[in-house]
Amino acid sequence: MSQPPSTPPRPRTVDADLARRAFDEALAQHDQAFGTFFLARLFGFEFVYDDTPGQETCSVSFELKDFMFNPQGTLHGGVICFLMDVSMGHLMAHLVGAGATLELKTQFLKAATHGRITAQGRILQRGKSIWFLESRLTDEQGEPLAFATSTWKAPRAKPGTA
């Protein structure tokens, strides 16, 4: 796709100050636990849980920064997968403890280029040993950007718990 001559060329390097600030904050403030582990801090993830019974969600949102971009200048699909995984894994950890992802499928509906985006993880089915989850990624206007589903192995019940 040729571009009109007036379009400024895409910068070949990322915003160094922005990246360094994100890195320094992540290094200073991380704690290798749910919600606060290093990569979650580096990307600036913020977590909001809704505990309404039967419709529990975990929403993870952050502001796009160009150090997360692919060579085409949009949010890297791999970062989207990472975010989707986090939104579902944190929901599960919040409700019953750390599970293990067996598989994750993400569909990429639309490229994201700027602003704040939010992935909302939700339960499809909650079994004794297996959970099925979904996550929807939207931009600030609520436009869908990606959709993911995953399958998880639940943590084993601790002795003495139901």
List residues binding a copy of itself (CB under 8 A).
Answer: 1, 10-14, 16, 19-20, 23, 27, 30-34, 37-39, 67-73, 76-79, 81-86, 89, 93, 98, 100-111, 124-125, 129-130, 132, 134, 144, 147, 149, 151, 153, 156
Q: Shortest approach of a copy of itself to residue 121 CB, angstroms?
A: 13
- Determine the straight-line distance between the first and last CA of the chain, rounded to whole angstroms: 59
Q: Shortest approach of a copy of itself to residue 156 CB, angstroms?
A: 8
Q: Is-contact 155 98, C-beta < 8 A?
A: yes
Q: Shortest approach of a copy of itself to residue 114 CB, angstroms?
A: 15
- Cα-Cα-Cα-Cα dihedral sign, residues 10, 76, 124, 47: negative
User: Closer CB to a copy of itself, residue 4 or residue 9?
Assistant: 9
The structure tokens 């990624």 sit at: 137
CA pair distance 12, 136, nearest whole angstrom: 31
